[in-house]
Amino acid sequence: MTEVTGRTKVWAILADPIHHVKTPQALNAHMRERGVDGVLIPAHVGADDLAGLVSGLKAMRNLGGFIVTVPHKTAMVDLCDEVSEPARAIGAVNTVRRNADGRLVGEMLDGAGFVAGLRQGGIEPNGKSVYLAGAGGAANAIAFALAEAGVSSLIIANRTRSKGEDLKQRLEQRYPSVPVEIGTPDPSGHDIVVNATSLGLREGDPLPLDASRLSPNQVVAEIIMQPETTALLAAAKERGCRTHPGRPMLSCQLDLMADFMGMHP
């Protein structure tokens, strides 16, 4: 970081707990590399105090915006002055820009980060049929971004079927031209297979889908970053599939967040 002066612009990340976040390091380095006179600080705030802090931040004229993470992404939707349509349909906001007039504009960039990461890896989802395991927070964001990217069809397979059906309904409302189906653990027959569940984080987790049904013409993508090669990716490699790790989703999303919050020199 260069010296913080009276001219330095401020960004923040709101979370509880906060000690583990890596965004301050990443985005402060991003600003340093680009010569932005700015600093991103951690803001440890509990759910009960979120509204109070956000209302204070609205009044802070040298604030560029803030990132919102666990457990505040859902509550933030109603605290913004304006929220993008997909973010509203997903029901979560993870990036907020403060406009010059103090208006807070919310966006959800998890899914866009995933799609940008796929493209960076040379995988274009447009026109492809996609099998998506999961219907939680991350899966919702990814499903909307895949529909936005123009996939030819989307199959949602989730342990709790009702959550998959709810996601299907919201997707169909916003993207009526994208066919959405509820799937089984069998991912065969689809071009791109995505794990958007939390399975694979912990050693000994069951696989999120039936990997014995994978074939070499399929791409298998992860959202889990650690371990880098999850049991699913290892099984997919063994079956001759092209694989795509979880890391690019985050690195691409950091660039999208910086852009959205106006982190420019």
Query: What does the binding site for ligand ATR look like in residue numbers (CB under 6 A)?
Result: 134-139, 158-160, 163, 197-199
Q: How far is the CB of 139 from ligand ATR (least distance, A)?
A: 6
Question: In 31-94, which ranges are E strands?
Answer: 38-44, 63-68, 82-83
Question: Which residue is at the shortest CB distance from ligand ATR?
Answer: 136
Q: What is the CA radius of gyration of the chain?
A: 19
Complex with ligand ATR: residue 112 or 138, whichever CB lies closer: 138
- Please give the Cα distance from 177 to 183 (Å, whole number): 19
SS3 content of the chain, % helix, strand, coil (to 5): 35, 20, 45
Q: Which is nearer to ligand ATR, 63 or 107 (CB)?
A: 107
Contact 263, 38 (CB under 8 A): yes
- Active-site residue list: 73
Residue closer to ligand ATR, measured from CB, 1 or 201: 201
Q: Looking at the DSSP assignment, which residues form a beta bridge with residue 11?
A: 40, 65
Q: Looking at beta carbons only, is 57 or 199 nearer to ligand ATR?
A: 199
* H helix runs in 61-220, sequence order: 85-90, 110-120, 137-148, 161-174
Paired strand residues for 97: 65, 105
